[in-house]
Each structure stands twice: as structure tokens, then as C-alpha cells.
Structure 1
């Protein structure tokens, strides 16, 4: 049985498979979460079936989510998409619904903000994107939409980031634009 958009729970088999995948990734990339223990993370995940569903969606769309931090104030583990390149299952999308609806021809199938909301996650901010880049080299061939400040969006623009020439760059485009190599990276708090 597959999880559907309306069903935000996973079968026992899906949960076990996802937890195995996440544990394997966690143990393989300990430098992303020094001092954290998988058993504690897993207990938080098992207590939050809807968060497991969101992680499943992140995984299903190619995000390869992993623990990258802990919010001491809120008591949440932070999961970011850690795929080397922008998630394949989220590419060729514009920034938001308004951008999508403004296209007269050749509209993409979806947009980053609606997809993230449907998955129960948030787009990374520019600051979070830069934090991710401290953990490795991401988006060397692709780019990722990031949360755009209201003032920029109000004027029709949207921000995206990538890594080139061993530097992280932030750029702008019209929110209606989309490219085969651009997706978005998400954040989930558990």
C-alpha cells in the first residue's frame, strides 16, 4: 500500500523501510550531526506519524533527508534534504501558485511552495541553505528555490541558490520561471 496525498500515514512496512533508510544515512553521515544518537531521533519520529509521512515524501521525491541540527528552544530535530543535487522529483517547477498562474504558455505542473505545503515541510531559507553547504558540496550542477522575502516576491521575483566555483551563490528570477535543473530543498522539524 502506498501513501497518498490525502492519507498522511504510512503502513508498518513503509515505516520500517523508511526508518532503516534514515538510520543508514544518519550513521553514514555522522559529521552532519555530531553528538546526536539515532535511538533518540527514532523515538521522536515514531511518536510523530505525520512527520514520518513528510519524511517519506521527502525521500520519495529524491531529497535524501537527514538530521542536520537541533533547535534547543523548541526541542526539535531539524531534517534537511541532503541529496547531492536538487531533488529529482521536485524539478521543473516555478516558485509559487501566483507565478504558476501567471504563465500563459508552457506552465509547469506544480510550484515549490504548494509542493512543500502538501508534503508538510518548509522551503529552506537562504541562511539554512548556507548552513547546509557547510556540511558538504550541494547543487554543483543544479539549483534550489529558497524562501523569498515578501518585498522581492511582491515585485515578481523569487530567490534560488546553488554552489559554483566553491562558493554559494544566491540569485533571482521571475517567480514564474522554471528549469529542468531547479527544484527546492525542504526542512522538517521533528
Structure 2
């Protein structure tokens, strides 16, 4: 296998696959309030039938997202995994919003952007609505904040949205899309 094949290989070894499934199962069983009425066996069957999605989940796990199932869509038969780490995933912080924002910075550019990193992982940034739904399950981002998908009209003016949880409430803020902070990352979602 050439080095470029290794970089582009989005598969897991049998050991990595087993470790990931065990971690997901343990988290699922410890946090039943996030997915009442769902059974792990059904989720696992769906995961095992979706090989490429396991790689994306492993990337969510590797970057500190602690992904867990938060929704089941009866119409599509899809489960939605979302980053459920207490704070914005540590391995995805200090990023500006998107590629345009990254390229507009003249000095002190971050390594990447939230949108680019999400795409490379095969996931999507949460929408504001998804973020608010997640906060109904438990309080997240009490010390950090997370970029969320930003409407085109706001992004067209150079801004981007982020959210956090303070004083018992979800707050939505705006910032220049090119800004980045050590305490701001992003949460992702993946449908399986």
C-alpha cells in the first residue's frame, strides 16, 4: 500500500472496529436518557451494515467528541449520532468557521476550519435547532462554545454563529467567521 492510499483509507482494522463498537455500546448503555426506547442491538446492526460510517464515528471519537445516538427517524430508518462530550470536542478547537474565513486571515491562521474538518471526517456541523435539541438531553458546553451551521445571509456578511450553555440557557452568538479561540470548536452529527 502506498502512503497516499494509507492517507485516503477510510476503513478500520477488525480490532479498531471492535474497540469502537465496544466504546459506543458502553456509552449507549450508560446514557439511556439520550435514546429512550432504542435498543443497542438495532443500532449495532445498522452500524455493522454501514462500514464507512464507522470510520466517521471513529474520527468523532478520536477527536474527543464522545458520539452517542440521540435520535431515530422512523421514516428513513436512520439513527443520528451527535458529539456528546461535556465540552466542545478538544481535538476540534481553535478553528475558524470555513475555508473562506481561513483564507482571509493574513496572520496567525489556524490549522483548518470547522467546516473543512467536518467534511474530512464525513460529518456535518450541528444546526442551531440540533444544538438546542441536544441541550434538552443534558447541559453541554458550560465552559466552551461550538460553531453551528450559519445561514447564508449571515455568512455572506462575514459572520458565523456559535452556541454555548450558560446560566441555564442556550445562547446563540455571532462572531467574524475568521475568528478562532482555544475554547471554541464544533459538534458534529452523523446519520447512520
Structure 2, unmatched stretches of 5+, are 1-5
Kindly report which structure 2 residues correspond to 1:122-141, keeping only aligned pairs within 5 A, or say none.
Answer: 122-141=124-143
Partner of 2:59: 57
Q: Distance in 1 between matches of 2:64 and 2:42?
A: 25
Partner of 1:161: 163
Tell me the CA shift for residue 5 of structure 1: 4.6
Kindly report which structure 2 residues correspond to 1:113-128, keeping only aligned pairs within 5 A, or say none.
Answer: 113-128=115-130
| Aligned 8 A contact 1:5 1:118 in 2 | no
Partner of 2:104: 102
Tell me the number of residue pairs that the alignment of Structure 1 and Structure 2 aligns.
Answer: 187
Kindly report which structure 2 residues correspond to 1:1-190, keeping only aligned pairs within 5 A, or say none.
Answer: 5-190=7-192
Q: Distance in 1 between matches of 2:56 and 2:21?
A: 13
Q: CA RMSD in A?
A: 0.7
Tell me the CA shift for residue 106 of structure 1: 0.2
4+ runs deviating over 3 angstroms = none
TM-score (normalizing by structure 1): 0.97
Deviations 1:107-131 (A, max 9, x none): 0000000100010000000000000
Q: Distance in 1 between matches of 2:53 and 2:69?
A: 13
Structure 1, unmatched stretches of 5+, are none
Deviations 1:160-181 (A, max 9, x none): 0000011000000000000000
TM-score (normalizing by structure 2): 0.96
Q: Distance in 1 between matches of 2:147 and 2:76?
A: 26
